[in-house]
Amino acid sequence: MKRLLYILSAVFVFSSFAPQKNQPIKSGEKLVYAGSYNMSGLMTQLAQVTMSTETVSTAKNAYLHLSCELSTYSKWDSFFKIRDIYESYVNPVTLKPSLYKRSIDEGGYTKKEKYVFKGNTVNSTVKKRKKPETQKTFTIGGSTQDVISLLYKVRTMDFSKFKAGQTQSMMIVFDEKQIPVTLKYMGKETVNAGNLGKKECYKLSIGAKTDALRGKDKNLIWLTADAKKVPALLKFSIPVGTGQLVLTSATGI
């Protein structure tokens, strides 16, 4: 259980960092990943991760709904079923979040989180299985965002101006608090990007002051070195091992 929570936390935390300029993220995008975990030296495919975007409208505003779902492959369901949803409702232009929700069901362990963003204040509500609901209000910086929206925002950054080894510090909201995250540009590498074929990518290292991540330059993300900056590969190192997310399909980009 703890191992899976670490994996999921790591995936989202290390994938999140702040942008320098904004470009609209397209509605209708769908990225599918095969999630593997290193078990005793062998990568074992465990789950499918789907990241998608769509427009959601209320009477007053239109939001971009950023969704990230994780489901274990059917062969694992009888042994350890996981159904997780991470969602962020953001301004379609600035990607500033208004609402962040997380609902996890991992082998019967459930947890629901809701973060409401109001200016520089966040109201969080957390409900864990068999525990009473807790609420918390905390202050954040002007550019602090939730982990999902930041993952999309990073794709608006212009890495062509970055030099190898260049770093940038940022802040994210994670586990009912604001935590610093550091992004390091490590140069370019060519990796397999699913149905997009082999792609030259920006290789980035992520460091966060959280127990969810371990090691120096062991939490990595490869973004296609084009205007779309699709995350093609993610590798993570956590206290209980290592794993990766490999892009298998990208549509609507």
Report in angstroms how near the CB of residue 140 gets to another protein at its nearest: 16
DSSP letter string over 193-249? -GGG-EEEEEEEEEEESSTT--SSS-SEEEEESSSS--EEEEEEEETTEEEEEEEEE
Cα–Cα dist 249/229, whole Å: 14
Binding of residue 63 to another protein (CB under 8 A): yes
Cα–Cα dist 211/222, whole Å: 23
Report in angstroms how near the CB of residue 117 gets to another protein at its nearest: 8
Binding of residue 21 to another protein (CB under 8 A): no
Binding mask 108-127 for another protein (x = CB under 8 A): ------x-x-x---------
Which is it for the CA torsion 58, 70, 248, 152, positive or negative? positive
Report in angstroms how near the CB of residue 75 gets to another protein at its nearest: 4
Total residues contacting another protein (rule CB under 8 A)?
37
The span of 83-91, 136-144, 179-187, 188-196 binding another protein (CB under 8 A) equals: 83-91
Residue 119's φ and ψ, nearest 5 degrees, are 60, -120
Report in angstroms how near the CB of residue 220 gets to another protein at its nearest: 23
Residues numbered 84 to 103 that lie near another protein (CB under 8 A) are 85, 87, 89, 98-99, 101, 103
Binding of residue 195 to another protein (CB under 8 A): no
End-to-end CA distance of the chain: 34
Residue among 124 and 205 whose Cβ is closer to another protein = 124
E strands in the chain: 30-39, 42-57, 62-72, 82-90, 97-106, 109-118, 121-128, 134-139, 145-146, 167-174, 177-192, 198-208, 220-224, 231-238, 241-251
The span of 61-69, 198-206, 212-220, 227-235 binding another protein (CB under 8 A) equals: 61-69
List of residues contacting another protein (CB under 8 A): 34, 39-45, 47-48, 56, 58-61, 63, 65, 69, 71-77, 79, 83, 85, 87, 89, 98-99, 101, 103, 114, 116, 118
